[in-house]
Amino acid sequence: MQLHSNIIGEGKPFVILHGFLGMSDNWKTLGKQFAEAGFQVHLVDQRNHGRSFHSADFNYDLLSQDLKAYCDTHDLKDIILLGHSMGGKTAMLFSTQFPEYVNKLIIADISPRFYPIHHDAILEGLANLNFNALKSRGEAEEQLSNYVSDYGTRLFLLKNLYWVEKGVLGLRMNLEALTDNVSEVGEALPIHSKFEGNTLFLKGDKSEYIATQDEPIIKSHFTNAKIETIENAGHWLHAENPKDFYSAVINFVN
């Protein structure tokens, strides 16, 4: 089973992993900018997300193995690896399991620690979308607003909508498997996992995902890590302040 990806540009391989309930398309604009800066950008859909395969099994070990298989298929070595949120957790584990594949690691707004489940309302709202009655994205957005108050979050989630056939909408993600395995998303990096390569952690100044007390945990796993803050940004820092996010990443990789 091969992961779906969108590959843009030529040059040093730069792999980007989206977060929970996201997809590679969320990174298209920044991906193009990184490609213009001389990288071959791989925007990857992780299993049960976007256009990648569906499976009842879902945990970080599997996501890491999926990424290794992807790199082997595309003959990618010495990659720059960027992961946001859940994608950041995949990227952390991958770099500790297969350090020979990773030249530089960038983790966007997530720490190696455990996070309690906090996606309940979102998953419930998506599960209650009535695709027998829905005829437009607008109607779906209206239904979802009963569960998800933030407009930006609703738009992000509804990027998963697609026309299954004429007049019938559906979700690209494997909602059932993701709901069944949601407890896996917050799992901590295994305690002895270490990566000694160059690593950059980026946190949004309005986000609580990386707190001051996370810094010793980060340094214990990633001995060569720097932590930087992106101003005027929450958890979706790459979407909320793409300019500063791009600058921080480019300065680090160059």
What would the pLDDT profile of 155-181 be if each residue is shown by its tens digit?
999 999 999 999 899 999 999 999 999
Q: pTM of the full predicted structure? A: 0.97
Residue 3 confidence (pLDDT): 98
Mean residue pLDDT of the chain comes to 96
How far is CA 197 from each of CA 14, 24, 103, 221, rounded to the nearest angstrom? Answer: 16, 25, 7, 11
What would the pLDDT profile of 116-132 be if each residue is shown by its tens digit?
998 999 999 999 999 99
Determine the Cα–Cα distance for residues 62 and 76; give it in Å rounded to an integer.
19
Determine the Cα–Cα distance for residues 198 and 189; give it in Å rounded to an integer.
18
What would the pLDDT profile of 219-250 be if each residue is shown by its tens digit?
999 999 999 999 999 999 999 999 999 999 99
The DSSP code sequence of the chain is ----EEEESSSEEEEEE--TT--GGGGHHHHHHHHHTTEEEEEEPPTTSTTSPP-S---HHHHHHHHHHHHHHTT--SEEEEEETHHHHHHHHHHHH-GGGEEEEEEES--SS------HHHHHHHHT--TTT--SHHHHHHHHTTT---HHHHHHHHTTEEEEETTEEEESS-HHHHHHTHHHHTPPPPTT--B-SEEEEEEETT--SS-GGGHHHHHHHBTTEEEEEETT--SSHHHHSHHHHHHHHHHHH-
Residue 213 confidence (pLDDT): 95
Residue 106 confidence (pLDDT): 98
